[in-house]
Every structure is written in structure tokens, then in C-alpha cells.
């Protein structure tokens, strides 16, 4: 039987989540995705109308199939956590069962188990503010959406993950070195995500023989990154200063994710794996 993957954080064909889905599909996995509720309509309409067909082409010429798209908001663990104004918000009221716990229950009902969990989502409402100007709300929201969301997804999916399974999340070098412009507590959120990768590798390894790794990816002009406002600068900086002076393609990250969740990586867990053209090793401009 092929493996089944749930990829949280796909809402278009520009981000790392889409690229990872494609690499996993090319390796024979069945693809389920979790899409942020406010982005669900546009994404599903695009899929239906063939907007993404060109980007669905796999190396063998076939098209990636997404078996099911689940609405998801990973900042809410269960229905009791959803505030009234969100429940009644027009962008949310059209969908149902989108809290983490409910999504996992639905996946269990639909398919029984999964093998691979991918977390490719982040959100920080004050990302464009320096840390010194970030509010407590902005900081905690960044950590809730970008770090605890992974803890929650793993906690709820673990009971239906087949032993030998694996998870991947996406992190950024701003966790360990100062990147001006990546504010709002997002650098703190990535530091938490990396630390949690080590702790959860131990806990999920012990509990369910599940591996937990994170990819520290170089800059990509995704929708989320464009919203931050400095991505073109970071792409140019990387192109000029990384060990490999070439463009970084999303599928290079997708391919490493596919490796890390495969049996080829059966002894790798708790690791931060850099897929950044070697930018992280540089200590001065070339
Ligand atoms: P993206 O826009 O393709 O992905 C982010 C996704 O998160 C979007 O689909 C958005 O709808 C979803 N999302 C936001 N809040 C959510 C919530 N509460 N519940 C569920 N989904 C939610 O952008 P990108 O850049 O591919 O981001 C994927 C991951 O890669 C993120 O963790 C990001 O921090 C990380 N990353 C991105 C880099 C870049 O330069 N683009 C560099 C290093 C890491």
C-alpha cells in the first residue's frame, strides 16, 4: 500500500506545502491537504476550474491528485475554543469541522490512518513590526499559529499515525540569527518550533515510532512571504551570498521533505535540515 500524507498549509501552488505535496505524490503517496478556512473557497474553486493544472504535472507527466481538501484552522484545537465572532464570520460559517480535533476525527472516519504529517503554515499578525514594538497579543498569536499548531496537529494525529511514520515542518534561520524585517515574534515562533522538534522527536518516537524533523528553508516568494514585504530583498541576498549562487526552487525543498519522511531517512529524527543553498554556513559576504 502507498503511504497517505496529510499536508497542512496549502492554499495555492506557490508555497512550500504545494511543492512538498507534489514530491510526495511523485513518490507514490496519497495526498490529503488542510487549507486555512478563509482561503478554502478560492483554492477549491481554482482546483475545480483547472487553475493549478499546469503546476499539478508530475515528473512522469501525470497530474497530482489531491484526494481530499479539509478546511482547517490550526489555532483552534476543538469547537469549544472558537470565539463567537469567528464562528459567525462569513469566511468561516460556510465550512464545518475545521478545528484540529475535528479534522483528525474526519480523516480517521474517511481513511482510518495516515503515515505522513506535514506542517507548512505560519502566521504572525505583527510580522512587519520589530520585536521591540510587538504586542503581547501579536507575539502569542504568532507562536499559537506557527508553533503550537504543530504540537496540536501531532498530538491529535499521533493516535492514527502508522508506526514508522514521519512528520515535517518548515522553519527559518531567523530563529537562530537576526533577520531584520522578520518580526512580530515570528523569529521566536521558529525558535520554539525547532526546540519542539527535538522534544517531540523523543516523545513521538517513544509513543508511536514516529520521526519528527524540520526543514530550515531558504527564501521563497510564496503568498505568505510576500505579505511580510521583504522577500525580494531576501531572495536577492541569498542569491548573492549563499554558498550555491543559484535560485532556490520550492521543489528542492519538496524533494528533501520526501526523503526525510521516507525509509531512506529512518534514523534521522529531531533534526533541523537546511535546504537553503548553504546560506546558513556563510559568515561574511562573498
Ligand atoms: P504559504 O502562503 O504557501 O503557506 C502558508 C499557509 O499557512 C497558507 O496556505 C495559509 O493559508 C496557511 N495558514 C495561515 N494561518 C493558518 C491557520 N491558522 N490554520 C491553517 N492554515 C493557516 O507560504 P510558505 O512561505 O510556503 O509557508 C510555508 C511554511 O514555510 C511556513 O511555516 C513558513 O514560515 C515556512 N518558510 C517559508 C520561507 C519563505 O521564504 N517563504 C522560508 C522558510 C520557511
Whether the CB of 75 sits within 6 Å of ligand 1 = yes
pLDDT of residue 1: 73
Alpha helices in the chain (DSSP H): 16-26, 37-48, 84-87, 90-93, 100-111, 136-143, 149-157, 186-208, 223-228, 231-241, 250-260
Tell me if 61 is assigned to some domain: yes
pTM higher than 0.95: yes
**In the chain, how many domains are there?**
1
Tell me if 193 is assigned to some domain: yes
Q: What is the Å distance from ligand 1's center to 16 Cα?
A: 8
Identify which of 100, 121, 172, 220 to mutate to test ligand 1's pocket (most ligand atoms within 8 A of the CB). 121
In whole angstroms, give the CA distance from residue 205 to residue 275: 24
Apex 63 CA angle, 60 and 67, nearest 5? 130
CATH number of the domain bearing residue 95: 3.40.50.720
CA 101 from centre of chain = 18
Tell me if 165 is assigned to some domain: yes
Tell me if 149 is assigned to some domain: yes
Residues of the chain above pLDDT 90, percent: 97
Whether the CB of 175 sits within 6 Å of ligand 1 = no
Tell me if 286 is assigned to some domain: no
Is the confidence metric ipTM above 0.95 for this complex? yes
pLDDT of residue 285: 83
Which tens digit of pLDDT belongs to each residue from 154-172? 999 999 999 999 999 999 9
- The values of phi and psi at residue 263, to 5°, are -60, -20
Q: Which atom of ligand 1 is nearest to the CA of 235?
A: 40
- The values of phi and psi at residue 233, to 5°, are -60, -40
Which residue shows C-alpha cell 516523545?
203
Question: Are the C-beta atoms of 242 and 218 separated by less than 8 Å?
Answer: yes
Tell me if 231 is assigned to some domain: yes
Q: Which domain holds residue 95?
A: 4-281
Whether the CB of 122 sits within 6 Å of ligand 1 = yes
Written as nine digits, the cell of 63 is 497530474
Whether the CB of 36 sits within 6 Å of ligand 1 = yes
Q: What is the Å distance from ligand 1's center to 206 Cα?
A: 29
Which tens digit of pLDDT belongs to each residue from 11-56? 999 999 999 999 999 999 999 999 999 999 999 999 999 999 999 9
pLDDT of residue 222: 96
Tell me if 140 is assigned to some domain: yes
- The values of phi and psi at residue 104, to 5°, are -65, -40
Written as nine digits, the cell of 100 is 484540529
Written as nine digits, the cell of 25 is 505524490
Sequence-ordered list of residues with C-beta below 8 angstroms from that of 49, at least 6 positions apart, any chain: none
Amino acid at each position: 500500500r502507498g503511504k497517505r500524507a496529510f499536508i497542512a498549509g496549502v492554499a495555492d501552488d506557490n508555497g512550500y506545502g504545494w511543492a512538498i505535496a507534489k514530491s510526495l505524490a511523485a513518490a507514490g503517496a496519497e495526498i490529503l491537504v488542510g487549507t486555512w478556512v478563509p482561503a478554502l473557497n478560492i483554492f477549491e474553486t481554482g482546483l475545480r476550474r483547472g487553475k493549478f493544472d499546469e503546476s499539478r504535472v508530475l515528473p512522469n507527466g501525470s497530474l497530482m491528485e489531491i484526494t481530499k481538501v479539509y478546511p482547517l484552522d490550526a489555532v483552534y484545537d476543538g469547537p469549544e475554543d472558537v470565539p463567537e465572532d469567528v464562528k459567525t464570520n462569513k469566511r468561516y460559517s460556510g465550512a464545518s469541522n475545521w478545528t484540529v480535533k475535528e479534522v483528525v476525527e474526519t480523516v480517521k472516519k474517511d481513511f482510518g490512518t495516515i503515515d505522513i504529517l506535514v506542517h507548512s503554515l505560519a502566521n504572525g499578525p505583527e510580522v512587519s513590526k520589530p520585536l521591540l514594538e510587538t504586542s503581547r497579543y501579536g507575539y502569542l498569536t504568532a507562536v499559537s499559529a506557527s508553533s503550537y499548531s504543530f504540537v496540536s496537529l501531532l498530538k491529535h494525529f499521533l493516535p492514527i499515525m502508522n508506526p514508522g511514520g514521519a512528520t515535517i515542518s518548515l522553519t527559518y534561520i531567523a530563529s537562530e540569527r537576526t533577520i531584520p524585517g522578520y518580526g512580530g515574534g515570528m523569529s521566536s515562533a521558529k525558535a520554539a518550533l525547532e526546540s519542539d522538534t527535538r522534544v517531540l522527536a523523543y516523545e513521538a518516537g517513544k509513543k508511536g515510532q514516529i520521526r519528527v524533523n524540520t526543514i530550515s528553508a531558504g527564501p521563497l516568494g510564496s503568498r505568505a512571504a510576500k505579505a511580510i514585504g521583504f522577500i525580494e530583498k531576501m531572495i536577492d541576498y541569498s542569491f548573492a551570498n549563499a554558498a550555491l549562487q543559484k535560485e532556490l526552487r520550492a521543489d528542492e525543498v519538496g524533494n528533501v521533505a520526501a526523503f526525510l519522511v521516507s525509509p531512506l531517512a529512518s534514523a534521522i529524527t529531531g533534526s533541523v535540515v537546511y535546504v537553503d543553498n548553504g546560506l546558513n554556513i556563510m559568515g561574511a559576504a562573498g
